[in-house]
Structure 1
Amino acid sequence: MISDLDLAVRTFVYQHFVQTARPPSVAETAVHLNLPPNDIEKSYQRLHDNHFFFLEPGTLSIRMANPFSAIPTKFKVHIGKITYWANCAWDMLGIPAAMQQDATMTAIYEDSGEISKFTVKNGQLQPGEGVIHFPLPVKQWYDDLILT
């Protein structure tokens, strides 16, 4: 069951991602919330188990807090002076939507290595020449979040 603590942890994780383009560690979260690291470790695991974010297998390091990625991907989102990594094309569009900010985005096509550029202004994807393709139906995304 998700607790008020879990929701506070999740909020801090997202705030940290927005401000720094990376997730906080368990230790950083514990310091911010003035709680023992063990409490945060349990919260991270509950949040992972309930798909609030995705941990690196066998660790308590956050890999994804959708739409943000903690590791470099083929999907970059530039907002102001910060560059974020997105997990996939869907999340690339989700970052400016979640932050309600204009953005420029680049994506590298899997098959050709070609780079495509996209722009969001005033909440709208601007006309361009790129194509966004989703390799799996939405209902299968959690079958393999890394592939998706």
Structure 2
Amino acid sequence: MPPDFDTLVKLHIYRTLAETTKAPSAGEVARDLGVGAPEVEAAFGRLYGRRLLVLEPGDPTRIRMAPPFSGIETAFPVEVRGRRYYANCVWDALGVAAALHEDAVIPASDGFSGEPITLEVRDGRPVPQECVIHFAVPAARWWHDIVYT
């Protein structure tokens, strides 16, 4: 497959996430693009190798992360236009609003106290909040174990 195929697959993944809130499987992408599943699975692998996707451990046909979107439910929901998306972390939750170019409400919790916090994005900017985002792992080491990070 030509390199442009990987871009086509990546764009289809993000369009599907934006439209449905769900990450498509390799089989669904293959069906939608009218190509064979092995070609899409190979593209998933190449996109993973370029750190553009994280695949489900043990099932390389399923997407765990298409940053900033999560392919699974997480503790970081993002509510946009009556839909619930999931992010991989609170930082990515802000990225979901940015990727969709929409206002968003992000129900979260204080990582120390567990107290609920509601973050909001309006007009492309986070609404000022008295809170701190803590990164337990330095950014330079995130991809050593991106699921944990």
TM-score (norm: length of structure 2): 0.92
Q: Which runs of 4+ in 1 moved over 4 A?
A: none
Partner of 1:147: 148
Partner of 1:42: 42
Q: Secondary structure at the match of 1:44?
A: helix
Partner of 1:107: 108
Give matches, 1:12-51, under 5 Å.
Answer: 12-51=12-51
- 8 A Cα contact 1:89 1:134, kept in partner: no
Deviation of 1:99 after TM superposition, in Å, equals: 1.3
Q: Secondary structure at the match of 1:29?
A: helix
* Alignment gaps of 5+ in structure 2: none
Q: Using the alignment, how far apart are the partners of 2:72 and 2:110 within structure 1?
A: 18
Partner of 1:127: 128
Deviation of 1:73 after TM superposition, in Å, equals: 1.4
Query: Any idea what the Cα deviations from partners look like across 1:50-86, whole Å, max 9, x if unmatched?
Result: 1110001221210000000111212111110111111
Query: Any idea what the Cα deviations from partners look like across 1:8-65, whole Å, max 9, x if unmatched?
Result: 0000000011111111111110111100111111111111121110001221210000
Q: Using the alignment, how far apart are the partners of 1:57 and 1:128 within structure 2?
A: 36
- 8 A Cα contact 1:74 1:107, kept in partner: yes
Q: Secondary structure at the match of 2:23?
A: coil
2:53 is aligned with 1:53: yes
* Alignment gaps of 5+ in structure 1: none
Query: Letter of the aligned partner of 1:55 in structure 2?
Result: L
Q: Using the alignment, how far apart are the partners of 1:75 and 1:62 within structure 2?
A: 17
